């Protein structure tokens, strides 16, 4: 079967959905999975029964993985916390992520390793989201002792997306509010992964280059487009992008990963590095870029697909889009099956799947290859790609955000090519800032002008009658 992996991914996702809707016991699903594995082994030679058993096994594994994700270790810190707990905990551990500072307040994910209440001390595990009422200079891997009250996240939000569910998908089940700087006690040494630490260090260096050569607003937008850092984008800009349906340009996606792969491959080709070594180095750089941008769903999806395409050239196999997309989805969902219910995950895969499926059909139907004017053919191609993505994501956006943006197709034709140019210039700016600082100023001025033009076009587009409307 040509698209076997894609079919397996569909059954795996269906298993996650069914397990989420049902209350079937974890061990019952586990027992059914064992029975199916045994049945599959006995039916290896049967042409039709074996694939059917494999598909049902994928379905059971999806449900089993989801049920397993709800089972936390006995030593998990959330097992010792009620909804509102006045007990003062002293947690030892390290900063597990990039701290964020906003409105003179800081927040960071803290991986607990040891807990203490009064004189009682025990080993523990799990993540805690620490929020402080003051700014604090921290970095990934810093060892700390944090003191405060622990609580469970509140379930506010609509029925589709609650704050508790949002944090749970990141493996966070507890919160700690710190009011005094004396409640955060630094310890000596660093913890965590050295590779992740290097990735955060590299991202900070890139952000410094961007902020050094651009004003605040263009710098925040370029940081989002190149590094996936959206914390500095004003609400008005983000809201205007949502209305035009172009907010996706503020998210690092497959296009950015493609640029990184292209630049690395080009540089290595110029230096006459052998093809296999070139691909291995490109894969390594893609993995580092994935970590630098925060390993979000679009980046992971694009990175996995990019790696599968590159490895296909090593093994001299023709890459298949549906299988590559399915492989990326399975990679994410095996690690965290609850990501299937994340809107970002759904939009990321739905848009690519829609382009892969609808674009060739729309292109054949419109017969734009008969157009002899290259510029017009290029514009029509962009229109069809934008229309395909809009068809695939319109329902998800309308259901979750209560907005429909008919102007999206038109807006993307004008804004996406401009965003492409900005992204290319952004990567060039970062590279120049790191290795040739005297050239960076030229690209900084150009990028600022292009971002200003992009914002003006977006503002003009959403003024068109019926450009968007709320449900």
Domain boundaries, the chain: 4-70, 77-192, 253-339
Q: What topology does CATH give the domain 77-192?
A: OB fold (Dihydrolipoamide Acetyltransferase, E2P) (2.40.50)
Q: Supply the pLDDT for residue 43.
A: 63
Q: Supply the pLDDT for residue 432.
A: 86
Q: Supply the pLDDT for residue 297.
A: 67
User: What is the value of pTM for the model shown?
Assistant: 0.80
Q: Supply the pLDDT for residue 428.
A: 86
Q: Supply the pLDDT for residue 204.
A: 87
Q: Supply the pLDDT for residue 155.
A: 65
Regions of the chain short of the pLDDT cut 70: 1, 26, 39-48, 50, 82-85, 155-161, 254-255, 297, 313-319
3-state SS of the chain is CCCHHHHHHHHHHHHHHHHHHCCCCHHHHHHHHHHHHHHHHHCCCCCCHHHHHHHHHHHHHHHHHHHHHCCCCCCEHHHHCCCEEEEEEEEEEEECCCCEEECCEEEEEEEEEEEEECCEEEECECEEEEEECCCCCCCCCEEEEEEEEEECCCCCECCCCEHHHHHHCCCEEEEEEECCHHHEEEEEEECCCHHHHHHHHHHHHHHHHHHHHCCHHHHHHHHHHHHCCCCCCCHHHHHHHHHHCCHHHHCCCHHHHHHHHHHHHHHHHHCCCCHHHHHHHHHHHHHHHHHHCCCCHHHHHHHHHHHHHHHHHHCCCCCCHHHHHHHHHHHHHHHCHHHHHCHHHHHHHHHHHHHHHHHHHHHHHHCHHHCCCHHHHHHHHHHHHHHHHHHHHHHHHHHHHCEECCCHHHHHHHHHHHHHHHHHHHHHHHHHHHHCHHHHHHHHHHHHHHHHHHHHHHHHHCCCCCCCEEC
Q: What confidence tens digit (pLDDT) does each residue in 368-389 have? A: 777 777 777 777 777 788 888 8
Q: Supply the pLDDT for residue 111.
A: 93
């Amino acid at each position: 079967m040509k698209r076997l992996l894609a079919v397996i991914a569909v059954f795996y996702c269906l298993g996650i959905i069914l397990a989420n809707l049902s209350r079937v016991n974890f061990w019952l699903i586990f027992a059914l999975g064992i029975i199916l594995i045994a049945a599959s082994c006995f039916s290896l030679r049967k042409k039709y029964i074996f694939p059917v058993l494999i598909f049902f096994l994928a379905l059971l594994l999806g449900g089993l993985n989801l049920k397993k994700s709800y089972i936390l270790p006995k030593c998990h810190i959330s097992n010792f916390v009620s909804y509102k707990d006045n007990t003062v905990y002293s947690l030892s551990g390290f900063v597990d992520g990039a701290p964020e500072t906003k409105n003179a307040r800081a927040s960071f994910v803290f991986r607990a390793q040891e807990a203490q209440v009064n004189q009682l001390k025990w080993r523990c595990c799990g993540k805690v989201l620490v929020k402080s009422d003051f700014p604090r200079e921290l970095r990934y891997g810093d060892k700390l002792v944090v003191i405060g009250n622990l609580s469970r996240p509140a379930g506010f939000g609509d029925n589709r997306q609650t704050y508790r569910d949002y944090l749970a998908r990141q493996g966070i089940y507890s919160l700690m509010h710190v009011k005094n700087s004396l409640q955060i006690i630094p310890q000596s040494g660093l913890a965590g992964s050295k590779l992740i630490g290097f990735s955060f260090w590299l991202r900070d260096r890139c952000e410094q280059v961007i902020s050094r050569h651009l004003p605040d607003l263009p710098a925040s937008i370029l940081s989002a487009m190149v590094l996936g850092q959206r914390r500095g984008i004003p609400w008005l800009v983000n809201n205007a992008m949502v209305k035009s349906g172009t907010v996706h340009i503020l998210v690092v996606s497959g296009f950015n990963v493609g640029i990184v792969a292209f630049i690395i491959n080009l540089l290595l080709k110029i230096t006459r590095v052998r093809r296999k070594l070139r691909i291995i180095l490109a894969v390594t750089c893609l993995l580092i870029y994935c970590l630098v941008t925060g390993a979000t769903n679009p980046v992971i999806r694009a990175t996995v697909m990019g790696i599968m395409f590159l490895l296909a050239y090593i093994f001299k196999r023709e890459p298949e889009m549906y299988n590559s997309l399915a492989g990326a989805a399975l990679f994410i969902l095996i690690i965290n099956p609850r990501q299937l219910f994340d809107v970002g995950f759904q939009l990321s895969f739905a848009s690519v799947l829609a382009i892969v499926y609808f674009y060739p059909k729309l292109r054949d139907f419109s017969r734009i290859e008969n157009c002899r004017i290259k510029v017009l053919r290029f514009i029509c191609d962009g229109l069809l790609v934008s229309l395909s993505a809009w068809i695939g994501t319109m329902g998800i956006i309308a259901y979750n955000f209560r907005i429909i943006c008919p102007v999206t197709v038109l807006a993307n034709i004008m804004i996406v090519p401009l965003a492409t140019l900005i992204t290319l210039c952004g990567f060039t700016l970062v590279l120049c800032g790191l290795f040739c600082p005297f050239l960076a100023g030229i690209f900084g001025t150009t990028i600022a002008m292009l971002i200003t033009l992009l914002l003006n076009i977006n503002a003009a587009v959403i003024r068109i009658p019926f450009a968007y409307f709320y449900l």
